[in-house]
Structure 1
Amino acid sequence: MGFPDRIERTLELGHPPAKVWTALTTADGLGTWFGQNATIDLQTGGNAVLTWENGDKVELRIERLEEPAVFGYTWHIYGLPEDDPRRTYVEFTLEPTAAGTRLTVVESGFAQLPEDEYAKAFGGNTEGWELELGELVEYLNAA
């Protein structure tokens, strides 16, 4: 394929890894910055469900859990029909720094899509991560 397979963002956060981990892996955290309500079964193979007041709903399947350093999940690809089995993989990696935490987010798996589906999914998620990570920073700074 002639286009990128992954979206990658790195943030330098002035908060300890434990606080960032809690924001990423608890219903209270996820339901504040990444949705308006959340449930999570925090174990490999467990599920999380994020919902919004407008009726939108996203389901995550936890694939990797290495507290407090790595949280990874698969989820439905934006723009595809709900019954489409293809997923992308999202992984958050937390590294302690002198100032707090370096958070890296990588979403991969876009190369499996044909060009028309790719454009919508990759573009939508690129924009989405910018917005959602901004909300994560606001959540952490307010807490």
Structure 2
Amino acid sequence: MGHHFELHKHIELAATPEQVWEAIATGPGVDSWFMGRTEIEPREGGRTRLTLAGHVEEATVAAWEPGKRFADRTETAPDGTFMATEYLIEGRDQGSTVLRLVQSGVLGDNWESEYEAMRTGWDMYLGTLAAYLAHFPGRTAVPVSAFRPGAGDPEPVWAAVTAALGLTGPVTEGQPVTLAVDGLPPVDGVVDSAGLPTWLGVRTADGLYRFLHSGADRGNTLVVGHHLFAVDGGPGRTEQAWQNWLTALPVG
């Protein structure tokens, strides 16, 4: 039997309502902070498409009010599950904006794990949205993803990731990071988001780098989900280089 749910989040962003709209209601904007690759047909009744790891999720635009409200909803599956997402934009003084998110629908048998993943995941993604609007306004990113299922429990995995990033001791925002990935320019930046044991974020002059661990209930998968504003050699080559790095990471 499906489980109905409703999840609420909100965040204040250092951006105008128009900038926030571009970030949440256009494909290139969403690609600059959210997972996978997104396409959006800009009208009520239009279609949205999210592609990630070979899986495609489509939805219908349920609300299209530029600068104010955007919503979409997937079709109801044979088992009764569906997902609906709504963004509400509220302008504030001095050019800031409050973004409210409501995600609702029906989850399947493993609903508790799914709900917790969404609840925690939105904290990371909305934080990434804030970083995008604050540090890369007017630019759009190429999303780069790679996956390592069965990487292991969080503690040894994060020990390997933080060692590769040159981090020691407790991870805190502002720590300097240096990382070498074969075939790519060096990554030099700072920790800008520390949500261990679930995620770790790094910001550079040309990118937002995100490392995620799914947890045991979701296969102990280690994921990189980066947003790069300057890509040398094309996205395919960059994505393969990160997949090679992830596969070779000594996690055991």
Instruction: Give the counterpart of 1:127 among 120, 133, 151.
Output: 120
Superposition deviation, residue 91 in structure 1:
0.6
2:47 touches 2:61 (CA, 8 Å); kept in 1? yes
Superposition deviation, residue 35 in structure 1:
3.1
For 2:56 and 2:131, the matched residues in 1 are separated by 22
1:90 touches 1:106 (CA, 8 Å); kept in 2? yes
1:30 touches 1:50 (CA, 8 Å); kept in 2? no
What does 1:1-143 align with in structure 2 at a 5 Å threshold?
5-52=5-52, 54-75=53-74, 84=79, 86-99=81-94, 100-110=96-106, 113=107, 116-141=109-134, 142-143=136-137
The structure having more radius of gyration, on CA atoms, is: 2
> Does the residue aligned with 1:42 lie in a helix, a strand or coil?
coil
AA matched with 1:129: W
Q: Structure 2 regions of 5+ residues with no counterpart?
A: 138-252
Mean CA deviation greater in 24-33 or 82-91: 82-91
Superposition deviation, residue 66 in structure 1:
1.3
What is the TM-score of this pair, normalised by structure 2?
0.47
- For the structure 1 residues 58 and 137, does the alpha-carbon distance in structure 2 shift closer, same or farther, using more than 3 Å as the test? farther
- For the structure 1 residues 40 and 70, does the alpha-carbon distance in structure 2 shift closer, same or farther, using more than 3 Å as the test? same
RMSD across aligned positions (CA): 2.5
Superposition deviation, residue 70 in structure 1:
0.6
What is the TM-score of this pair, normalised by structure 1?
0.79
Superposition deviation, residue 67 in structure 1:
1.5
Higher relative contact order, structure no. (Cα contacts within 8 Å, ≥ 6 residues apart): 1
Count of equivalent residues: 133
Deviations 1:62-104 (A, max 9, x none): 1111111010111379xxxx86552121110000101410100
> Does the residue aligned with 2:125 lie in a helix, a strand or coil?
helix
2:84 touches 2:103 (CA, 8 Å); kept in 1? yes
Which residue matches 2:207? none
For 1:96 and 1:11, the matched residues in 2 are separated by 12
For 1:121 and 1:60, the matched residues in 2 are separated by 19
AA matched with 2:5: D
AA matched with 1:57: V
Structure 1 residue runs of 4+, over 3 Å off? Answer: 82-85
1:95 touches 1:103 (CA, 8 Å); kept in 2? yes
Deviations 1:10-54 (A, max 9, x none): 1011110000000011111012212343221111121111224x3
Greater helix content? 1
Q: Structure 1 regions of 5+ residues with no counterpart?
A: none
Percent identity for Structure 1 against Structure 2: 27
For 1:75 and 1:50, the matched residues in 2 are separated by 11
- For the structure 1 residues 28 and 68, does the alpha-carbon distance in structure 2 shift closer, same or farther, using more than 3 Å as the test? same
For 1:4 and 1:97, the matched residues in 2 are separated by 33
